[in-house]
């Protein structure tokens, strides 16, 4: 199984603390040695870093820990290969452009009969069930919504469609996933995903996977709202909320903006 990490914040925020803990699961405290990746939506753009090598030994991963990239949405993934060999094309996150926006996707789980999911606009570059499912999902969304939603009603319809598509993937196996378009972060739980929202008064947090404590009060302003979503809680002194199977959360600016249940 792979590990997922996501962030949604109302101010550009770096993910160095959470990523440092997460990183240790990539061949350190965890068995996830088969590559890793991280995508940032920053003011004015999108970029990603991916490496097919274990994250604990990756100089690129070390750079990400040390170089605070300020972002409103982050998606990261550490891979333990099941379908598709260990290579760059099979490392998450995957990205495709729809409506002039970069859509980014990472998946934890394993699907059956995924080859039968029909593809239209998008085709996988690698050989994973995850990327095939992403190409299918985004193609279905684009077929149903050739143009981006223009009002709250259309946005709700889009999110309902997305939930229905996620539920179809859950019918094929384990499918925890993170998806983002720069404005919204979508988190869908099939078996395991937990989240925490940090806001004033900020306190201390200590990582479960590495010897590191941070006092968020020193790095934030009173209006900051920062939510972190991960396969397993990353800290051992805070209350994380477990998502329910079949639950889709829509995050915007650090807060849950909509929720869909099975």
Q: Which residues bind its own copies (CB under 8 A)?
A: 42-52, 59-60, 63, 67, 85, 87-91, 96-97, 99-102, 121-126
The residue (of 63 and 157) whose beta carbon lies closer to its own copies is: 63
The residue (of 123 and 164) whose beta carbon lies closer to its own copies is: 123
The CB-of-134 to its own copies minimum distance in angstroms stands at 11
Q: Select which of 2, 104, 166, 189 is catalytic.
A: 2
The CB-of-151 to its own copies minimum distance in angstroms stands at 21
Comparing C-alpha atoms, which of 2, 35, 33, 1 is closest to residue 126? 35
The residue (of 96 and 198) whose beta carbon lies closer to its own copies is: 96
**Pairwise CA distance, residues 246 & 230, whole Å:** 16
Q: Is 2 labeled as catalytic in the residue annotation?
A: yes
Strands lying side by side in the sheet with 185-189: 94-98, 101-108, 176-180, 185-189, 247-252, 255-260
Residues 6 or more apart in contact with residue 216 via CB below 8 angstroms: 198, 202, 203, 204, 205
The CB-of-94 to its own copies minimum distance in angstroms stands at 9
How many CA within 13 A on the CB side of residue 176?
24
Mind giving me the DSSP string for 72-85? EEEEEEE---SSS-
The residue (of 102 and 245) whose beta carbon lies closer to its own copies is: 102
The CB-of-240 to its own copies minimum distance in angstroms stands at 31
**Pairwise CA distance, residues 86 & 181, whole Å:** 27
Decide: 94 and 131 in contact? Cβ < 8 Å: yes
Indicate the helix (H) or strand (E) that contains 191. none
Indicate the helix (H) or strand (E) that contains 254. none
The CB-of-20 to its own copies minimum distance in angstroms stands at 17
Q: Between helices 129-144 and 152-170, what is the axis angle to 10°?
A: 150
The residue (of 28 and 126) whose beta carbon lies closer to its own copies is: 126
Comparing C-alpha atoms, which of 61, 88, 98, 122 is closest to residue 180? 98
- The catalytic residue positions are 2
């Amino acid at each position: 199984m792979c590990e997922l990490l996501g962030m949604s914040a109302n101010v550009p925020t770096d993910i160095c603390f959470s990523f440092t803990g997460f990183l240790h699961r990539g061949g350190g405290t965890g068995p996830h040695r088969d590559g890793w990746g991280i995508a940032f939506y920053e003011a004015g753009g999108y970029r990603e870093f991916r490496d097919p090598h274990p994250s604990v030994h990756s100089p690129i991963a070390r750079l990400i820990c040390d170089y605070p990239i300020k972002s409103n949405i982050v998606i990261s993934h550490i891979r333990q290969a099941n379908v598709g060999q260990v290579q760059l094309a099979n490392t998450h996150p995957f990205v495709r452009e729809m409506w002039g926006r970069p859509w980014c996707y990472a998946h934890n789980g394993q699907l059956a009969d995924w080859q039968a999911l029909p593809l239209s606009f998008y085709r996988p570059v690698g050989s994973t069930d995850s990327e095939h499912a992403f190409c299918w999902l985004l193609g279905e969304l684009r077929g149903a919504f050739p143009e981006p939603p223009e009002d709250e009603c259309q946005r709700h319809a889009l999110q309902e469609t997305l939930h229905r598509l996620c539920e179809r993937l859950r019918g094929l196996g384990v499918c925890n996933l993170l998806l983002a378009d720069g404005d919204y972060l979508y988190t869908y739980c099939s078996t395991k995903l937990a989240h925490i929202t940090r806001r004033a008064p900020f306190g201390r947090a200590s990582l479960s996977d590495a010897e590191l404590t941070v006092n968020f009060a020193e790095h934030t302003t009173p209006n900051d709202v920062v939510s972190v979503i991960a396969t397993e809680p990353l800290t051992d002194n805070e209350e994380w909320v477990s998502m329910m199977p079949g639950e889709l959360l829509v995050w915007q600016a650090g807060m849950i903006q909509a929720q869909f249940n099975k």
